[in-house]
């Protein structure tokens, strides 16, 4: 077993996790209506976003809401829910994929908006859809080591620009069904934001202890999904096959001597019905223990896991075992176990 990729914590917990919904609902029927010129020219058939991906709708922000506005709003909610004084927060990490600039970091804007202290370390962690889980691990290491008492992780994603660019491209240049599938992942994306406050379990009654987890990589697949604000191109089938293969290998490898089955809830990265069903099959998970938010939020990147956890937290009972299971294009996979 490679110890650096498997970890456990002594006294780390999630104190609060909150979602911040984008207000504008965009249905898959509305997306298909915007693609009418493409369908007319190629004799394509609408309906794949819902019938194949299982996504009925997704959300978008008003044009005047930035990625960092969304992340900061989620952060404000998480701080309020935690009861932690913001002067005690020693680390703030922004894991957003979406960003308006190369530098400075998105974190500095959120740090300023939230009025965090000058002693609060702040930076971005970017690792596609796995970024939030990576930040949870990083924050846990710093809390357990005694360097900080509290950490705040934020993520804000927006899809207005990438949708406009992709739909315009397909309507003007798309030649056939292969173009839809190459750009399919883009049209499953959703907008939203989430944030989490972490601290010590022993000093925060009612917090939810982070126990352990693992990470694994399969970076030979780094070209299967490549995205920017201009659009995302994906080899959908190859990505699905490689992703489920990595999940299975990681699950079996990290589970040597321990069963990861039998948990009370599994919070999977929210991509599509096809992806979720494949993960249920390859990991032999009970579908009743796997909540789905992609049908009404779409894929919100790194925010998907904390949004889904926040969405179902009121249904969890004290002592429940919860596995947060992330995967990001590249490919990287990670799992973190919580005791609720």
Residues noted as catalytic: 103, 129
CA torsion, ordered 238, 243, 246, 252, to nearest 10 deg: -130
Cα-based distances in Å from 239 to 95, 146, 293, 328: 22, 39, 21, 10
Are 152 and 79 spatial neighbours (Cβ–Cβ below 8 Å)? yes
CA–centroid distance for 319 within its chain: 24
Euclidean distance between CA atoms 285 and 202, whole angstroms: 32
Are 129 and 329 spatial neighbours (Cβ–Cβ below 8 Å)? yes
- For 300, counting Cβ atoms within 10 Å of its Cβ (0-12 exposed, 13-18 middle, 19+ buried), the class is buried
């Amino acid at each position: 077993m490679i110890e650096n990729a498997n970890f456990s914590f002594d006294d780390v917990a999630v104190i609060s996790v909150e979602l911040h919904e984008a207000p504008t609902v965009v249905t898959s029927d509305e997306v298909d209506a915007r693609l009418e010129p493409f369908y007319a020219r190629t004799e394509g058939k609408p309906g794949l976003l819902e019938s194949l991906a299982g996504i009925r709708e997704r959300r978008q922000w008003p044009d005047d809401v930035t990625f960092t506005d969304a992340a900061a709003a989620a952060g404000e909610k998480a701080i309020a829910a935690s009861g932690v004084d913001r002067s005690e927060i020693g680390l703030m990490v922004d894991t957003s994929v979406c960003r308006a600039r190369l530098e400075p970091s998105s974190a500095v804007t959120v740090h300023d908006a939230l009025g965090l202290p000058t002693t609060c370390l702040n930076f971005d962690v970017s690792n596609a859809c796995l970024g939030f889980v990576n930040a949870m691990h990083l924050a846990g290491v710093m809390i357990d080591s005694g360097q900080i008492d509290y950490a705040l992780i934020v993520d804000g994603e927006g899809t207005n620009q990438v949708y406009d660019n992709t739909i315009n491209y397909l309507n003007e240049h798309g030649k056939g069904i292969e173009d839809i599938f190459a750009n399919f992942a883009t049209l499953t994306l959703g907008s939203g934001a989430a944030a989490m406050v972490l601290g010590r379990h022993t000093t925060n009654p009612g917090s939810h202890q982070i126990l352990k987890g693992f990470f694994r990589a399969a970076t030979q697949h780094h070209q299967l999904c490549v995205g920017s604000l201009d659009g995302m191109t994906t080899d959908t089938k190859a990505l699905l096959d490689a992703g489920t293969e990595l999940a299975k290998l990681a699950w079996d490898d990290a589970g040597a001597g321990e069963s990861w089955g039998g948990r009370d809830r599994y919070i999977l990265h929210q991509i599509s019905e096809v992806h979720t069903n494949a993960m249920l099959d390859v990991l032999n998970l009970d579908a009743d223990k796997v909540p789905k938010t992609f049908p009404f939020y779409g894929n919100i990147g790194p925010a998907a896991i904390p949004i889904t956890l926040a969405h179902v937290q009121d249904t969890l009972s004290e002592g429940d075992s919860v596995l947060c299971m992330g995967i990001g294009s590249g490919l990287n996979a990670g799992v973190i176990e919580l005791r609720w």
